Structure 1
Amino acid sequence: MTTSTLSPQAKPRHLAASPDVQLIFWLGGALMLVACFLPWALLRPNRLASGMYMNLPVVWMVLNALLALAVPVSARFLPRLTPLLSGAALALGFYLLGARMTAAMLDQPEIARASASSGLWVWLLGAGIAVYGASQLALPERFWSWLAWLWLPVLIVLALSGQLADWSVLRELDAQQARFLQEVGQHLKLVLTGLGLAVLIGAPLAVWVSRRPRAAEAVLGFANGIQTIPSLALLGLLIAPLGALANALPFLRQLGVSGIGTAPALTALTLYALLPVLRNGLVALRGVSPGALDAARGMGMTDNQRFWRVQLPLALPVWLSGIRQAAVLLVGVASIAQLIGAGGLGYFIFSGLQTAASDLILLGAIPAALLAIGVDALLRGLEVLLTRQWGKA
């Protein structure tokens, strides 16, 4: 009886996505298919008035439906084409956003608004899921994987060429550009200052409690307790004590400390960021192998040398991950700071809520989401860089 085996150099004749990855594509394809039958634009005579919903033309509806079905089918039979189809689907969503807004605003007055409706948002969600699935494909050629990013240059070209200018959110941005830049700067200032204070307080505290189990329980209990308080309630609770402190110590008022404004906002943000900084720092420092520390001790290193040359470099990846989590958390929490006069992108969100203007809400929400993604990517890169530097030291 003989058996045949594949040589190590032999390549499979047919590539196919794993069942789990195929499920991702079927989910994305189903959402895109549903989006074809939903309205894609809402035309209103002004920002606040109700309007008229607009569906896709029949030809585009059929083409979109075929593309929605082609994505999961290709993952089963032609996975090399799946990244291209997924990226094209997401790019198509942005193209149709501009096209539908331009068509809706033809012969309309300046105060008219054309907003993206449910069909577009569901399509972008489904296409985004498909692009994520494309990143999970194990393709032998990197070229095919990069085609999933086709949507990015398309979006850049559409934005620079003005094809998205009729979208209501960008019209609001054009009308409030100076205020928008001011609030983005204030949002970043709140996030970075709150994160910096949390690291300055939390990092030494994590090192101190890493060798004191009872103190660690108390500190983590306090930080966990802060996290259970809703952000809006915490801001409200800080108004009275900070106001009383500013009245009792006039020099603090001269420094800008009061019951409303930046001071309570930064206090709340710092308290919220403490838990991930403390918890990850504690886990990272305690997770260093005792054998590595014993080896360093055997080489004659002092306690300080063991910490800086051995323990901290080994703990750094986990610790930096906690700082990154804290930064992303603060981007969202900082939006609430507008309620006590601290500014930030929450200005547009709450202005939109007060006037029932969804365009203003998106003008605050979309940049906040992009800011969170950007901060996460930046700190992830810093994490990799510092880890490599510490590893070489």
Structure 2
Amino acid sequence: MQAVLWLGAAAMLAGSVLPWVLLRPNRLAPGEYARLPAAWLAVAVLLAVLPALSARWFRRSVWLPAGAALVLGVWLLGDRTHAALVGQVPFARASAASGVWLYVLGAAIAVYGARRAADTRLGGWLAWAWVLPVAALALLGHLSSWSVLVEGRNEGPRWVQELAQHLRLVGSALGLAVLIGAPLAVWAAGRERVAGAVLGTANAVQTIPSLALLGLLIAPLSALSHALPVLRQWGVSGIGVAPALTAMTLYALLPVVRNGVVALRGVPPGAVDAARGMGMTAAQRFWRVQLPLALPVWLAGVRQAAVLLVGVAAVAALIGAGGLGTYIFKGLQSAAADLILLGAVPAAVLAIAVDSLLRAVEWLLGRRLGSAA
């Protein structure tokens, strides 16, 4: 734990002395770096070392200076970007420089160390106390001068549309993967040769890079849409949503099928024999015994597929499918880091949110089944 805290302190100390803000006359032009003023530098350095120093005597309270350092990093981001834009033209941009990212990363490491140091459940929850002030800073507009949020305001409804498209792509592909993968897993669970063929094919798809798979699907789907004009009326073509959904569904099949096979094979034989002895039919044994016992493990595969799809959906923007990847690639083409972050940060947060939500569902199912047993 002490090593983790000192690692966080080292990152924060380095971030304190590095440039904090990059001021540019517009989104694309090069700019000038600004460092922290001496007074704020002293405060940042003090909070950087305080979690590691206090851990020896106040082990249960390390969350307080660690969380304070994280809040300070976010507060200084808003304060320094606002100060940099005073007297500038309206299209000037104040971006977070390397010092901000390194300081916030170090503070996050310190918070993680504080959670490990907490020996009570209350201490573990207190390590998350920084979320409320950070959320308040964001909601009250303290970060409104940060270039990423400026770009977000400029994009406005378009960003919301791309986020909704990203969610639609992920949800549709995940639903298709479950609809296809669940029957395949049930079929393969009791047949070794079938399982080898199905899992081998799904593994082979996973070895193909996502961008290459999207490119390989353009030609056959384009030919299919020309051969069957009705498909074009349904929106099937060589570019757009159709190849994106096809590739994403293929990628999501492996975790769904693999975990389904493992989960069904892991059902205790005694439970199945007891159900058979009670006179249950094969369908009743599956729905009432095998599926409920296998569901927590199977759902873990669905969670893995969902998180995987959030990332693959970003790549799908290259073939006109839309989504948050639109901003990532637009930023790469124009060397605009703010646009890249406008797509990358929400995609990362979305992946974490999906993972946390499905983990909670897994935990609830496991607890319910455990209490029932």
Same fold per TM (> 0.5)? yes
1:261 aligned residue: 240
Q: CA deviation at 1:161?
A: 1.6
The answer as to whether partners of 1:313 and 1:387 remain within 8 angstroms in 2 is no
1:65 aligned residue: 45
Indicate the larger mover: 368-377 or 295-304. Answer: 295-304
After superposition, the C-alpha distances for 1:180-216 in whole angstroms (9 at most, x for unaligned) are 0110000000000000000000011101100010110
The answer as to whether partners of 1:87 and 1:147 remain within 8 angstroms in 2 is no
Going from structure 1 to structure 2, the CA distance change for 1:141 and 1:227 (only over 3 Å counts) comes to closer
Q: Does 1:102 align with 2:85?
A: no
The residue matched to 2:55 in structure 1 has which SS? helix
The residue matched to 2:94 in structure 1 has which SS? strand
Q: Distance in 1 between matches of 2:2 and 2:184?
A: 46
Q: Distance in 1 between matches of 2:112 and 2:275?
A: 43
For residue 2 of structure 2, what is the amino acid of its counterpart?
A: Q
In structure 1, runs of 5+ residues without a counterpart are 1-20
The answer as to whether partners of 2:20 and 2:96 remain within 8 angstroms in 1 is yes
Q: CA deviation at 1:146?
A: 2.8
Q: Does 1:193 align with 2:172?
A: yes
Q: Structure 2 residue aligned with 1:215, among 180, 194, 204?
A: 194
Q: Distance in 1 between matches of 2:274 and 2:53?
A: 56
Q: Distance in 2 between matches of 1:124 and 1:285?
A: 44
Task: Map 1:348-387 onto structure 2 (within 5 A).
Answer: 348-387=327-366
1:89 aligned residue: 69
The answer as to whether partners of 2:248 and 2:312 remain within 8 angstroms in 1 is yes
For residue 116 of structure 1, what is the amino acid of its counterpart?
A: A
State the superposition RMSD in angstroms: 1.5
For residue 133 of structure 1, what is the amino acid of its counterpart?
A: G
The answer as to whether partners of 1:85 and 1:148 remain within 8 angstroms in 2 is no
Q: CA deviation at 1:373?
A: 1.2
The answer as to whether partners of 1:338 and 1:346 remain within 8 angstroms in 2 is yes
2:13 aligned residue: 33
The answer as to whether partners of 2:60 and 2:118 remain within 8 angstroms in 1 is no
After superposition, the C-alpha distances for 1:234-269 in whole angstroms (9 at most, x for unaligned) are 000000000011111111111000000000000000
Q: Does 1:139 align with 2:119?
A: yes
After superposition, the C-alpha distances for 1:281-312 in whole angstroms (9 at most, x for unaligned) are 11111112222222322333222222222221
The residue matched to 1:284 in structure 2 has which SS? helix
What is the TM-score with the length of structure 2 in the denominator?
0.96
Q: CA deviation at 1:162?
A: 1.3
The residue matched to 1:115 in structure 2 has which SS? strand
Task: Map 1:119-158 onto structure 2 (within 5 A).
Answer: 119-140=99-120, 142=122, 144-158=123-137
Task: Map 1:168-179 onto structure 2 (within 5 A).
Answer: 168-179=147-158
The answer as to whether partners of 2:264 and 2:291 remain within 8 angstroms in 1 is yes
Q: Distance in 1 between matches of 2:329 and 2:120?
A: 49
Q: CA deviation at 1:389?
A: 5.2
In structure 2, runs of 5+ residues without a counterpart are none
Q: CA deviation at 1:390?
A: 5.5
Q: Distance in 2 between matches of 1:140 and 1:385?
A: 22
Q: Distance in 2 between matches of 1:165 and 1:109?
A: 16
The answer as to whether partners of 2:248 and 2:313 remain within 8 angstroms in 1 is yes
1:336 aligned residue: 315
The residue matched to 2:17 in structure 1 has which SS? coil
Number of aligned pairs? Answer: 372
2:263 aligned residue: 284
After superposition, the C-alpha distances for 1:152-181 in whole angstroms (9 at most, x for unaligned) are 111221122211110000110111111101
Task: Map 1:174-323 onto structure 2 (within 5 A).
Answer: 174-323=153-302
Q: Distance in 2 between matches of 1:132 and 1:290?
A: 42
Indicate the larger mover: 27-36 or 262-271. Answer: 27-36
Q: CA deviation at 1:139?
A: 2.2
Q: CA deviation at 1:150?
A: 2.6
Q: Distance in 2 between matches of 1:87 and 1:305?
A: 52
Q: Distance in 2 between matches of 1:208 and 1:387?
A: 24
Q: Distance in 1 between matches of 2:57 and 2:267?
A: 46
The residue matched to 1:288 in structure 2 has which SS? coil
The residue matched to 1:42 in structure 2 has which SS? strand
Q: Distance in 2 between matches of 1:137 and 1:170?
A: 35
Q: Distance in 2 between matches of 1:386 and 1:233?
A: 38
After superposition, the C-alpha distances for 1:28-52 in whole angstroms (9 at most, x for unaligned) are 1221121111111100011011111
Q: CA deviation at 1:231?
A: 0.5
After superposition, the C-alpha distances for 1:12-31 in whole angstroms (9 at most, x for unaligned) are xxxxxxxxx22222221221
For residue 68 of structure 2, what is the amino acid of its counterpart?
A: A
1:11 aligned residue: none
Q: Distance in 1 between matches of 2:41 and 2:120?
A: 34
What is the TM-score with the length of structure 1 in the denominator?
0.91
Q: Distance in 2 between matches of 1:370 and 1:50?
A: 29
The answer as to whether partners of 1:88 and 1:150 remain within 8 angstroms in 2 is no
For residue 172 of structure 2, what is the amino acid of its counterpart?
A: T
Q: Distance in 2 between matches of 1:354 and 1:189?
A: 25
Task: Map 1:156-171 onto structure 2 (within 5 A).
Answer: 156-171=135-150
The answer as to whether partners of 2:13 and 2:48 remain within 8 angstroms in 1 is yes
Q: Does 1:55 align with 2:35?
A: yes
